[in-house]
């Protein structure tokens, strides 16, 4: 059975999916047509229901729970892995000052429906002058002065300081202080139109792929490097270590709790609509 599959070219995703798409594990008769896209493009594809399986932001998932179900394997949750709000102008580093003026500042965000933007909306609700920018171009817009602030994700966590930029806040730390939970960033979902037995098969195969990657961390090096935008190997594996962990193997009770809290807070503050569908794959 051939299924369409979307994920990003970032090292954490290519690390997770390498064994699955290259049949280094038993895929139980499943084959995959792969689409590589940045996370906001994947979010938009999910809104249109284009793919059988896709990575997407948890923020975006709130809008497609009727179409997709969340798998237990493949998620990116963790502590100390949040998006960073950065600036070039050091006057913005004082958060109390920033809160008083942020309504007038231009902010580059990696996508309206990213979890990063959800967290920014929680921490700085007055910061509404936002422009969606491809995540890899945000640093340059802040450097040039085109934007006052930038909301960075992925490997840019490791590069902004070398470009003379400053961290205002780690929104993952903000979330952890608010909730005590890991921050849910992105997950893997399967189309509810697929038979339930196929949804479970996808989850099993994906879990095996993550476990294979942990057991053989260099196995997918060529594939990861091919899509890593000329990142050094050191940065690639820092990126993987940051976003791939036990929650990527299985959400477990703690992971599911963190996601429920994320959705509850987002509904309370009106950031997402009320969600009534069962979020998780049935046990």
Return the active site residues: 154
Residue 92 CA from chain centroid, whole number: 26
3-class DSSP state of 227: coil
Angle 11-21/196-215 helices, nearest 10 degrees?
110
Exposure string of 229-245, with b = 16+ CB inside 10 Å and e = fewer, is: eebeeebbbbbbebbbb
Q: What angle do CA 84, 8, 139 make, to 5 degrees?
A: 35
3-class DSSP state of 46: helix
Residue 151, C-beta contacts closer than 8 angstroms, at least 6 positions apart: 83, 84, 85, 86, 107, 108, 109, 110, 116, 117, 120, 138, 171
216: DSSP letter: S
CA distances from 82 to 116, 118, 138, 212 (A): 8, 12, 16, 26
**Rounded Cα distance, 244 and 132, in Å:** 26
């Amino acid at each position: 059975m051939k299924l369409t599959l979307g994920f990003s070219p970032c090292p954490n995703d290519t690390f997770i999916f390498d064994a699955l798409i290259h049949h280094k594990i038993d895929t139980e008769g499943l084959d995959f047509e792969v689409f590589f896209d940045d996370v906001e493009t994947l979010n938009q594809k999910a809104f249109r229901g284009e793919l059988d399986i896709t990575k997407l932001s948890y923020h975006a998932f709130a809008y497609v729970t009727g179409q997709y179900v969340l798998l237990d394997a493949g998620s990116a949750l963790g502590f100390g892995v949040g998006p960073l709000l950065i600036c070039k102008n050091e006057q913005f580093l004082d958060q109390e000052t920033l809160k008083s003026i942020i309504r007038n500042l231009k902010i580059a965000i990696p996508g309206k429906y990213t979890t990063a933007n959800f967290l920014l909306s929680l921490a700085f609700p007055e910061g509404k002058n936002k422009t969606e920018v491809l995540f890899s171009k945000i640093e340059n817009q802040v450097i040039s002065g085109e934007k006052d602030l930038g909301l960075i994700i992925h490997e840019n966590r490791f590069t902004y300081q070398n470009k003379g930029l400053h961290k205002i806040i780690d929104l993952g730390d903000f979330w952890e202080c608010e909730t005590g939970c890991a921050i849910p960033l992105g997950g893997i979902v399967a189309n509810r139109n697929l038979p339930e037995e196929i949804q479970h098969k996808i989850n099993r195969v994906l879990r095996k792929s993550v476990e294979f990657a942990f057991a053989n961390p260099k196995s997918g090096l060529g594939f990861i490097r091919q899509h890593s935008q000329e990142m050094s190997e050191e940065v690639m594996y820092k990126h993987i270590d940051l976003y791939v962990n036990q929650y990527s193997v299985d959400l477990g009770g703690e992971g599911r709790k963190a996601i429920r809290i994320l959705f509850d807070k987002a509904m309370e503050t009106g950031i997402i609509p009320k969600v009534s569908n069962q979020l998780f794959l049935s046990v």
